[in-house]
Each structure stands twice: as C-alpha cells, then as structure tokens.
Structure 1
Amino acid sequence: MTDTFHRWTTRTALLLFLVVGVGGCAGTAPTTDSSEQPPTATAQAELHHQSLNATLWMQRSAEYDALLRQTYAQAAQQLPALLDDSTLTAAVEQSEQMRTGAYADLPPAVILDVDETVLDNSPYQARLILDDETYDTESWNAWCRERKATAVPGALRFVEEAANAGVTVFYLTNRRDTVRSATRDNLEALGFPVDDEHLIMRGQREDWAASDKTPRREHIMQSHRIVMQIGDNLGDFLSEVETSLDERERMSATHRGFWGTRWFMLPNPQYGSWEGALFDYDYSLSPEEQRQHKREQLVPARSEE
C-alpha cells in the first residue's frame, strides 16, 4: 500500500467502475470548511455504490481470483531465466550499476508488497461498508493487529517456489513499523516464510519515514540482486509516482520491457496512487468535487459526424 491509502475512504472511486465495469473505492479526508455544502444524496449513493462493487469484485468474483493466480503463475515461470542471467535486475536503481556489474555476484532476491499483494484486506473494506464508516489510521492499525488478513490467491505458492529455488524473499510494505509484530504474525500464520530482517516497513528507520520505497529498495540491493518485484501500485516499482496522469503513463511506458518479465502488477480497484492522480492529489476536495474531477477524466466514445 502507498501513503495514498491513508487518505482515501471507501466512498470515492469512480474511474475503474465506469471504464472497466468493476468500480473503485477510494476516498478523501473530510473537508475542514464548515461553510461548504455536503454532497447530495444522489452523489453519496453513487459513491457508496462504487465501494460496494470494488470490494465485492475482489471478494466474490472468479475473474479476480483467476487473474491473481495467472499473474503469480507467470511470475514463477519467469523466475528461472532471471536467475540464470546475472546481468538482469528488476530494480531501476540497481540497473544503473549495470555497466560495472557490481550486483552480478550478489544472491538473488524478490521483493513483494504486502497489502493486496500478499495479504488480502478486503474484509476490512467490507466492514467499513457495512458499518457505514470511512478509513482512518486507528481502525486500519486495529485491523492489522487483529491478524485476520487472508492470503492473496497464488502468493503463497509463488513464495514457496522462490524460496525452494534459493531466492530470498523480502516483504516491502508501507504498513508502519508500529504494526510489525502483528504483520509478521499474520504472515507466519498463513505459512509465509518471514522474519524481521526480511520484513521492511515504513518508519522502521528514520530515513524510511516516507511512503516512497526507493530508500528501502536501495537498502535491499546493497546485499542482493533484485530479480523480480510484485505489487499492486506503481510505487511498488518506481519512485515519485504521485505525479500527473500523463507522467505516470510515461513512466510505465518507459519501462514496458519490465512488465510481465521482471515486474508483475496485481489489480487493486479499491485504492492506490492512481486515484489521487485524477484530482491532482488534492485531498482537501469534497467527495463531490473529487467526483467531478474524475468525470472530467473520462474518455467517451465520439459520435461520427
């Protein structure tokens, strides 16, 4: 999860539902302007509907389950080739050292995000919907401490295959270090091999306080060649992703050779940095204002003249 997660609610995601028929559920911090009019009942109902669809798709659709298993299976198939070629790395930061070959003799490692990549937190989203609540840090940390997240389909089998192939698995998460023990316990209970050394959390060190994962990736690549990365957000692969829509598309296209070979993206219609980009990451906007910005980003079919 990126830091964007800590600023959304389950009431504000329109893009994915309208574009691919799934729906998103992300949101905003409440406005502090008491003079601002609340959203209309119609807008509130529509926003509520998006969170319902997104969570139900992740919890109940065969399509989501199939897509997850398919992605992890493809990742496992790619792993042998990446291990055989010591010149390859899945970290952009590490690839800049390619000319020197400084990482060629390092042991291989894969980096996985945690939330919605390894751990499925959709029951937390469902709870928010049923209780008519919105995301906040307190309820999120309380959920983490319940240790009730389930495994994302396909994740455990991939991790086991990677470990059996002699690959070190790092879990690189934007969960804060305050829920370290709960996160480790949850992973262990599901059968994932994990210890504190390989669970890299936000705020674990003073220079790891930001949501940008680059400093933590750089820490891992000092001791390992990063052969693969798996996540559900552009920030799981690149730095400084909270930028314009056009720039995000350019960043993704620039590294098109990594997708499906060294980088594997899992779907997440509930939240992510993609949503904030639709309204320039201005989380002070009301739900209706965010909704209007999102509508303006739609690309309708053009009628023939």
Structure 2
Amino acid sequence: MRKMLARCAARCLLVALVLGLLGTPACAPAPELAEDPGSGEDAAAATPRATPHENLHSTLYMQTAAEYAALTRQVFRSARRQMQAALRDSSWTAFPAQQERGRYRSKPPAVVVDVDETVLDNSSYQARLIRDGERYSTDTWNAWVREEQAEAVSGALAFAQAAEEAGVTVVYLTNRDASVEPATRRNLRALGFPLAERRDAVLTQGEQAGWEEKEPRREAVAEDFRILLFLGDNLGDFLPEVDRSIEARAQLAERYAGYWGRQWFVLPNPQYGSWEGALYDYDYGLSRAGTLRRK
C-alpha cells in the first residue's frame, strides 16, 4: 500500500505540473534558456520551474501510457519464447565472445538482465527531479535506491519467474554502485524477483576490481553459464564501448542486427541513457542550460 501511494503521489505531481504548463497561453513564446544562476540573490530569484523540465514528457509516458506498459510486456513475452528456443539448442549463446571461444554448450543456462528501467521502474525518482527542477546526481540517486521503492517494469516479473521455473538463472547486471547492492537485493526480493542462493547473481559496479564497465562482468558470467539472452534499455547492456557518435552508435547496432529480437531484447527508455550523451558528446560537465543548447 505504501508503494502504491508513493507511485500515485508521483503521478499526481506530474499531472499538476502539466496543468501548470497548460496555464501558459498557447501563443506565448518559449522561454529562453539562462545560464546557471550560481549563488546569491540571482539564484534565489531564478525558479527552476519557470522552464518546463526536459524529462516531463518522457516520465509521463513511462508512468501513464498504456502503450508503454503494452510495449514492455511485448518485449518480455517475446524474450520468454526465445528463451525456450535457446534451451532446446545447446549451440545458442547471446554473448558473441562466448560463441567465438566455444566450450560453453554444457554450461548451465542463464539470462542476463539490466536492472534500472529494464526490470525496475524508477520513474518516481525522475518525477522528484521534475518537481524540484533538479538534474540527476549520485547522491539523490543512491538515496532513492536506499528507499527500496522502485516497482517492477510491466512483464519483467513474469519473465524472471518463468526463467527460474525453467531452471534458468537470472543474473542482474547493473551499474548501480556496489554500496547500494544490499538495498537493490531487498527491493528485487520484495517484488518477487528470483535471486540465486548459491552464487552472486547481482553484479554491481565496482563490486570487484575491474568491474567499472559491464563487459568484464559479462565475461565473468560467461565463465560459469551459457548466456541465453541479454535484456536492457541501453546499448551498453549488450556491447562495450558504446560512447560514440550518433552515427557510430547506429552502425554498431546495425553490425549486430541478427541479435536483436533473437538473443538481445531492448526496452525503451526515453528518460536517459548513452543515447542522450551522444547528443552533447558525453560532456557531463556541462550546465543544464548548456546541455539543452547542445541538444
């Protein structure tokens, strides 16, 4: 009940924001972006709510659109069918490096899933940023994770439970920091997601030396399992070195065209991701106004 009330509050917040924006005359010119005001009186006078937040529409879509829920269910249902096909074919692997090396057919099966916006829905955190006129920060993000209030993405829980019933280990490969792994585990477990008991199946960033990027963790999973599927919301959930130009990212995705919808399943995330960084050359030091101008 507590989680349901929190989710409803977040949705009501977004609706209120939309109504506030609708109060602006339709013919009014769009406000110009100002530089970050800094501190002092200028900062106090500059209200962050004067300009619509860049994540408003994407968060509304993910929280309210029937189409979004239908789309994520569709992805997980398709992935479930492919998982069954993969179990019948011992030559099947979703990891190109595993295919190249061979000697994986007798290994137990696993599916590798990203966590945020793949199996866990953090749109309530995004709603807070919109309410407060803020940007993502490590501190506010980790505080949100420790609340353990994320909900399941539609279709994710049924998929994970079906995998467990089929004897497939679900490995959660996330760029959440190792310091919030206990909270992540509790959140997943409270929602009913299966967590392997005999091995670490929640692989967080920095948990071991050299685990800053996802590729070394994929390699670690491949040592013990035949990887049937990858599921994620970011190109980096499938491939290394994805911080490239828009054109280079498109070429990289095209190079692996045969994997999409077969061994790899991507979920939509219009809120954030490496796709967004490509719009401003991954210059995360830019001010909010500077970032929007680059976009």
CA distance in 1, matches of 2:52, 2:286: 14
CA apart distance, 1:32: 11
| Cross-structure match for 2:96 | 92
In structure 1, list runs of 5 or more residues that go unmatched. 1-29, 295-305
- Equivalent of 1:70 in 69, 74, 95: 74
Select 2:56's aligned residue among 39, 52, 55. 52
- The corresponding residue for 1:237 is 238
Give, as a single letter, the amino acid of the residue that structure 1 aligns with 2:241: E
Q: In structure 1, what is the Cα distance between the partners aligned to 2:208 and 2:181?
A: 13
CA gap of 1:293–1:47, structure 2 versus 1, over 3 A, is farther
2:9 — aligned with what?
none
Which of 194, 197, 201 does residue 198 from structure 1 map onto? 201
CA contact (8 A) 1:92 1:238 kept: no
Counterpart of 2:127 in structure 1 is 126
TM-score (structure 2 length as normaliser): 0.81
Q: Hey, what's the Cα distance between the residues in 2 that align with 1:223 and 1:230?
A: 19
Cα distance, 1:202 vs structure 2: 0.6
Would you say the 8 A contact 2:49–2:133 is kept in 1?
A: no
Verify the 8 A CA contact 2:214 2:240 in the aligned structure 1.
yes
Give yes or no for contact 1:177–1:204 (8 Å, CA) kept in 2.
yes
| Structure 2 runs not aligned, ≥5 long | 1-34
Alpha-carbon deviation of 1:31? 7.3
Work out the CA distance in 2 between the residues paired with 1:53 and 1:146.
25
Q: 2:276 is matched with which residue?
A: 275
Separation (CA, whole Å) in 1 of partners of 2:208 and 2:226:
22
**Quick check: 284-293 or 257-266, which moved more?**
284-293
Report percent identity of matched pairs.
Answer: 52
Cα distance in 2 for residues equivalent to 1:272 and 1:127:
18
2-structure distance, mates of 1:286, 1:213: 28
> Shift of residue 46 of structure 1?
5.5
Partner residue in 1 for 2:21: none
Q: Distance in 1 between matches of 2:184 and 2:121?
A: 12
Which residue identity lines up with residue 225 of structure 1 in the other structure?
Answer: R
1:177: which partner in 2?
Answer: 178
Q: What is the alpha-carbon distance in structure 1 between the residues aligned to residue 52 and residue 94 of structure 2?
A: 37
Aligned residues of 1:113 and 1:236 also touching (Cα < 8 A): yes
Aligned mates of 1:280, 1:44 — CA distance in 2: 27
CA distance in 1, matches of 2:52, 2:216: 36
Matched, 1:249 2:247: no
RCO greater where, 1 or 2, for CA within 8 Å and sep 6 or more? 1
Letter in 1 for 2:138: T
Measure how far apart 1:142 and its partner are.
0.9
Q: SS in structure 1 opposite 2:184?
A: helix
Q: Distance in 2 between matches of 1:87 and 1:166?
A: 17
Residue equivalent to 1:5: none
> 76, 81, 85: which is aligned to 1:81?
85
1:245–1:278 CA contact under 8 A, matched in 2: yes
Output the CA distance in 1 between the equivalents of 2:133 and 2:49: 12
Structure 1 stretches of 4+ with a deviation exceeding 6 A read 30-34
Residue aligning to 1:111:
112
Which whole-Å CA distance do the structure 1 matches of 2:52 and 2:287 have between them? 12
